[in-house]
Structure 1
């Protein structure tokens, strides 16, 4: 079987698939002025998505994360979940959501075949949540998290982008919260993009201090699975939940890269920050083009670089995080 392995012997079993770049939040680190459409292209259809995922599965992809923008803004979101989860070879289907419609849909998404859900909760303080996201719906999002637990999801993760002066004082509150909650709490370092340099300079903070604090308090780092994401995961015998740290500015962050991205308009991105992408769309309409599609993906992978070079101050060609699904 052909497999997605690059020139640095990294194996890619994880696909992050964006199905829309539209978002209904105005997060200050991503879309502070709200969503502004910059293209006239239609987003990938259900059939195009099915053909794309089938090709990736035959190349060894085991996990698909459906992203956005906000993926639940697609009316056919549940059908997309079902199509992806029923693809031969795909073992895990996840999504990342802002939680706006989670409470109303958690059970339907679970029933459609969604295995795991990540919810963005950038503060446990309702006022700070409103300040960061532009939405005064903290309680609604948290109710969605509770409803996801009730729906039966085995894995629920809370994503929080670390921002100095905004939510870095919430850390102990977060960790106390997961003492009795089966939730993986993930702190993500703020990343610089083309449009947020001033904000980044003001609010970026490393997650290394959290890591050291956890280790000092008896937390243990877990060994990741081959299709896990980039987080360093920590567990503690006294806590039901876990803590994850995503630190893209840390040394050797790219060494364990195992994921590729496809945008909502059908472009393959080898790195969140690296390049303009390779167009796949002309090969997505028909299953008959699957072998040609696989060849194009394999050829593109040969040009993947060893690093994103964020530590050198480069932000690549990514205008903002919603543009290709974070």
Structure 2
């Protein structure tokens, strides 16, 4: 089977698979009013996930990130990890989490096959953490990160969304943390979504400003590996940790796109923005449907646009990132 490729020569080996859009945090940039279900949830079942991953693996997917909402809210989260790990074509299994269950389950998830983990920590000030997330869980999350490091994960990343007049003063604290801690710190530039125009206008901070500051302090740009996505990574000889900048408003951000997204209800999203998604669920009911599913994937990729058009103020139909998994 030929690898998934679009009309611009981009190849897709990375699947971001949401397993729930439920989240127990109320982050101000994503779900400020908390999770509000739309009818009775009907998320992908374990067998549907197995069929989905099997089809993607057959056309070149080698990395799967399990996302949400908060994916660890699924009672069968460990079983999902195990199901993905059972596919020998998948070389890397990752997840993104708010970390609230990490302290208790890090070793269990590692033993099931999870190898990389991103934890959202938008501030190292417990009061600011509470202000942004709506949850007083800072200490639990930090203990969870320690548990992940102890469990042996090959890569632990910290995600922090940059927010002007909120956590933008935290940079020195973050840098002090990674001086002696071997983690990757990812600063994510705030993206405008359908529900967040006013918030974006008040709190958007250009990633280019952080990049200039890092370079002034001796951080060096790391040349990307072939499998790397759109993050720009930096290292410093005096620091054990690294920094990555995700700057969706930067020129040519989409040129290195290597990922596709499937929502918790089985819709294929070619981009985090711009379109409603294409239903795949009717072809996830049996392994015998795999060829038809793969044909649909190839067909839909021909519709993928060259860029997301965020820089033109076009936010598409995505109301908040929890609905697709970021």
Tell me if TM exceeds 0.5: yes
Matches within 5 A, 1:232-271: 232-271=232-271
The answer to whether 1:206 aligns with 2:200 is no
Do residues 306 (structure 1) and 303 (structure 2) align?
Answer: no
What residue number does 1:85 align with? Answer: 85
Q: Quick one: distance in 2 between partners of 1:41 and 1:102? A: 24
Name the counterpart of 2:169: 169
Give, in angstroms, the shift of residue 219 of structure 1: 1.6
What are the residue-to-residue correspondences of 1:91-102 with 2, within 5 Å? 91-102=91-102
> How many angstroms does 1:39 deviate by?
4.1
Total equivalences in the alignment: 326
Distance 2:226 2:316 in 1: 26
The TM-score with structure 2 as length reference comes to: 0.98
How far off its partner does 1:299 sit?
0.3
Give the superposed CA RMSD.
0.9
1: CA distance, partners of 2:229 / 2:46: 25
Give the stretch that moved more between structures: 99-108 or 210-219: 210-219
**Aligned equivalents of 1:224, 1:57: Cα separation in 2:** 24
In structure 1, what is the equivalent of residue 34 of structure 2? 34
SS in 1 for 2:186: strand
Distance 2:274 2:59 in 1: 22
The CA deviation string for residues 60-97 of structure 1, in whole angstroms up to 9 with x for no partner, is 01111000000000010011011112212111000000
Q: Which residue in the other structure is 1:17 paired with? A: 17
CA shift, 1:210, in A, is 1.5
SS at match of 2:317: coil
What does residue 189 of structure 1 align with?
189
CA contact (8 A) 1:63 1:227 kept: no
- Contact kept, 8 Å, 1:14 with 1:227, in 2: the verdict is no
Q: Which residue of the partner structure matches residue 148 of structure 2?
A: 148
**Separation in 2, partners of 1:306, 1:87:** 31
* Structure 1 residue ranges, 4+ long, deviating more than 3 angstroms after superposition: none
Counterpart residue number, 1:114: 114
CA contact (8 A) 1:13 1:226 kept: no
Q: Output the CA distance in 2 between the equivalents of 1:225 and 1:206.
A: 25
Q: Tell me how far apart the structure 2 counterparts of residues 151 and 276 of structure 1 sit (CA, whole Å).
A: 39
Report if the CA contact (8 A) 1:62-1:227 is conserved. no
Distance, in Å, in 2 between the alignment partners of 1:75 and 1:40 is 17
| Shift, 1:285, TM fit | 1.1
Deviation at 1:207, TM superposition (A): 1.1
Contact kept, 8 Å, 1:44 with 1:264, in 2: the verdict is yes
1:126 and 2:121 equivalent? no
Secondary structure of 2:93's aligned partner: strand
Q: Deviations over 1:99-124 (max 9, x none)?
A: 11110100001110001000000000
Measured in 2, the distance between the counterparts of 1:208 and 1:17 equals: 29
Instruction: Give the deviation of 1:289 after TM superposition.
Output: 0.4
Q: Indicate the SS of the match to 2:179.
A: coil
SS of equivalent residue, structure 1 residue 109: helix
Residue 295 of structure 2 aligns to a residue in which SS? helix
Maintained 8 Å contact 2:98/2:119: yes
Q: Distance in 2 between matches of 1:173 and 1:41?
A: 39
